[in-house]
A and B are shown apart, each in its own frame.
Chain A
């Protein structure tokens, strides 16, 4: 349907009674082959990230075998149900070069921006999810969606720039309300009722845009950059209002989630974190399936993970430094307990996307999810061999079920590869020793 014509029609109708338009039958989600949407457009490919804290114990985490059918050492045994959906990357390094090591900050910043942070408290620049969202996230209600299982709004891994953070949704109830509250348009609803206020809001927004232009004339260079970003955000808001006036495409995978009525109380007890993660994952899965966003981030832990275990006095981070290595087993038992819980949650996250049918496959098949930690061996704040995963086949462009070893090469190779897969035209990614223009070919179809 011609959007302009439709809007013109709607504008005329808004002055009168409520509008309702009949929709196609719900069995017309897909084309005849089941591999594209009914209107002929391809299934969208989505990009997601998932972060856990404090790395792993190499001896019981890293498989002996590389390639397909790799073994699952005890710390990642919980990944068995999703092994065929994931790739594991080990022996890749991150390089701080001359920058100081900022313990639990440096590693994830490099893996998400390609650059080592240079000063304490310096936030990262544009993170990979934002870079990708600029390419694939412009047609949905949310350009990116971030959530954290920690319950703490400060735990973000998504930055537009050093001074612009995408704060995560930290309350499952609020996340539900923001996703499926009053502004949600069910793509599979029997009738489409455009929000009559959307048009008048657009009109008012144009006045705010004019105000912004006037304010920008008074701004210095640094502030102008901030106001430019604000102006772009207003434009995004305008696009979102347009979406409210346009009948959404029916989506087979989309099911409205039931109301979230309760959530765990504050705190980082592993059980509470897992409960929060479970609800957030369900909401995020449906946000993606309902095409509310095509770029998403989920944090299992904050930087310097402080997850706790009931009855054990040391939080995860403290345990990494203080718990003795068991002389018989050769690793820190409690620290590994925390890592195992993280891996269980990662498996659950992957399974949630794999469990949603979309087209002739699953939602996960049309996703590319990137998981990483902040550190490798937390006891000594090691940046070498930070483990990473991917999940999903990116619409058929990625192989899965592989264990790839990097032999000390830059971990940014994975970020670079993913961005190429997602259609970004970039000759290289990263700075200094983290610079790469070399894809990880083994995972490409």
Chain B
């Protein structure tokens, strides 16, 4: 996580200071305001015979969700230096760790520091010399009678609206009254109406109702004896999945009105959310997690080996892939599998040096020529550099990443107590990675696992540890032939096609999206639904937004069950 809100990268571009008005947030700055038309083909509804429910969860808000939510409610220019503890990656996703994560004392201090930053900025009065606008003027729907005294009426107006957005449901009248009282006492003691409000906002931002995203349940009137999420919890589940942020005013209104309790209402709201620009936050959040991009926080290359690959280059590499994904899957609504063969991407000046292509300032769409070895996500610098050593490539790491991240095929850990002496680089005759890997594969202890990773990774050997194209390694022509689960190929294009057509590729995505959305690992009980969704995903051309839509509108997203006992869950985890 970089120092200033990552949400800024995403939301600031289109931001205008007009969005700072909290009262306007409720209207014109709503994320669901910019509805851009209907979606593509609808996946079929889940047949009645397929069990579809998910456990009620209590998820700790992630750093990005917190930042996105703050930006959406208070404006994109609210800067927050947050450094919340990372979640534990579980079943391939950090998101699953949120259901188990606790908040020890040191972590709550971090939340409190972030809260203070936010609260102070919300009530600031701007600075004419620095040409900074007054946030209080923009965000407050009223002005206090006297700035140095309590004003219960104005405090209530502001806290009612803000509390509803932060708590993701209306505050109870009793709690609101308590908060207004707290604001008044603070204002009286500090001699400042706005300081009193800021103190209460600080409290809201460390509230368990805000930091923990709780699935509250209620009896399902349509299915006696079963439970469903209450409408506000469903709104939150939808929003954190589709937008990676809290629901906006329109989604909350749909919860308030009961619209989210009807199939027709849910469909309307979901279509509205999928058409929103905020969908980009959700899609990027998911793929950032699925592709393990958290490792970019400390990824660096040896400058003596790769002087042109700086930290800025690597940051752009991550951004390039996320832009490519969003453009391909959402903007153009193309086949997910074609992400692995597409030659369309985006280029920045820093990346131009690595790809050796001319660039112009800023980000521009770029098309690699048909004979280019750059073909699909596997040949982008983000994948190649992330899964390599600081000063050399790594067929094993690349092969392992492809298996685990994209095909959901876990690669076993190395066996214990292996003496690697036999695997030491034996002679100068082993000049290429292929030589070395082949030598390793002669060892039967290691060959079992390395055979499932290295032949894939070797096909990417035309790219060094920085992701720069090369024809030779130490003077030897690179042999990029390999095989993936029975499909042989002789070059990168062959690998790209083999991945694109691999039968596990779509199913893995469905599995990950499903887990990410419901916050729980896929287990044997979920398999029929995941299989159904995978088939439907394929039948409708592997369009990602359609998959998201189908999942959030399936009963699994709002029918809930008590959480399975841990032992039962882990035993059933493999499918």
Contacts and interface: CB of A to CB of B under 8 A. Distances in A.
Interface string B87-108: 0111000000100111111111
Nearest to B97: A163
Contacts of B333: none
B195 to A, nearest CB: 7
A204 B216 contact: no
Interface string B403-443: 00000000001101111110111000000000000000000
Interface stretch (B186-194, B281-289, B337-345, B491-499): B186-194
A24 to B, nearest CB: 29
Contact of A208 (B89, B113, B203): B203
Contacts of B297: 152-154, 266
Interface in A397-444: none
Interface stretch (A58-66, A69-77, A226-234): A226-234
B1 interface: yes
A146 to B, nearest CB: 8
A163 B86 CA distance: 11
Contacts of B208: 208, 211-212, 215, 227, 230
A288 B166 CA distance: 37
B413 A325 contact: no
A334 to B, nearest CB: 12
13 contacts: A15-B189, A165-B85, A212-B208, A215-B209, A219-B58, A226-B102, A230-B102, A230-B108, A234-B206, A265-B300, A268-B390, A314-B389, A323-B424
Contact of B186 (A203, A218, A315): A203
B203 A204 contact: yes
A230 B103 contact: yes
Contacts of B212: 215, 227, 230
B354 interface: no
Contacts of A201: 199, 202-203
A47 B392 CA distance: 40
Given A142-B106, A200-B186, A315-B390, A164 B303 contact: no
Interface residues of B, number: 76
A223 B200 CA distance: 26
Contact of B100 (A143, A154, A163, A199): A163
Contacts, number: 227
B106 to A, nearest CB: 5
A197 B195 contact: yes
Contacts of A390: none
Chain A contact surface mostly: mixed
Contact of A215 (B86, B103, B214, B413): B214
Contact of B3 (A123, A156, A174): A174
Interface of B: 1, 3, 58, 81, 83-86, 88-90, 97, 100-110, 112-113, 175, 178-179, 182, 185-186, 188-190, 195-196, 199-200, 202-203, 206-209, 211-212, 214, 216, 294, 297-305, 311, 389-392, 413-414, 416-421, 423-425, 562-563
A344 interface: no
B108 A236 contact: yes
Nearest to A324: B424
Interface string A153-184: 11010001111111101110010011000000
Contacts of A169: 83
Interface stretch (A108-116, A244-252, A305-313): A305-313
A14 B110 CA distance: 26
A378 B212 CA distance: 41
Contact of B101 (A152, A163, A308): A163
Given A146-B106, A154-B297, 10 more contacts: A165-B85, A166-B104, A167-B85, A167-B106, A200-B190, A229-B102, A313-B392, A379-B420, A379-B421, A380-B418
Contacts of A323: 424
Contacts of B199: 197, 200-201, 204
B188 to A, nearest CB: 7
Contacts of A311: 302, 304-305, 391
Contacts of A177: 81
A133 B103 CA distance: 16
B106 A143 contact: yes
A22 interface: no
Contacts of B211: 230
Given A236-B105, A322-B424, A101 B86 contact: no
A163 B563 contact: no
Given A103-B413, A160-B102, A215-B214, A178 B179 contact: no
B150 to A, nearest CB: 12
A220 interface: yes
A180 to B, nearest CB: 14
Contact of B104 (A171, A196, A233): A233
Contact of B81 (A14, A174, A229, A318): A174
A419 to B, nearest CB: 20
A182 B113 CA distance: 10
B83 A153 contact: yes
A121 B90 contact: yes
A321 interface: yes
B189 A14 contact: yes
A269 interface: yes
A321 B196 CA distance: 60
A3 interface: no
Contact of B108 (A154, A233, A266, A308): A233
A352 interface: no
A209 to B, nearest CB: 10
Contacts of B97: 163
Q: Which 8 A-B pairs have the closest CB atoms?
A: A267-B300, A101-B416, A164-B102, A167-B85, A204-B203, A152-B298, A233-B108, A200-B186
Q: Looking at B97, B104, B108, B390, which has the most chain A CB atoms within 10 Å of its CB?
A: B104
A103 B389 CA distance: 19
Contact of A171 (B3, B196, B420, B425): B3
A229 B104 contact: yes
B33 to A, nearest CB: 31
Contacts of B389: 313-315, 318
B95 to A, nearest CB: 14
B105 to A, nearest CB: 4
A439 B248 CA distance: 59
Q: Looking at B112, B185, B208, which has the most chain A CB atoms within 10 Å of its CB?
A: B208
B420 A380 contact: yes
Given A203-B185, A204-B202, A207-B179, A154 B294 contact: yes
A163 B102 contact: yes
A382 B418 CA distance: 10
B86 A120 contact: no
Contacts of B195: 197
A233 B111 CA distance: 11
A196 B190 contact: yes
Contacts of B301: 267
A222 interface: yes
Contact of B425 (A200, A203, A322): A322
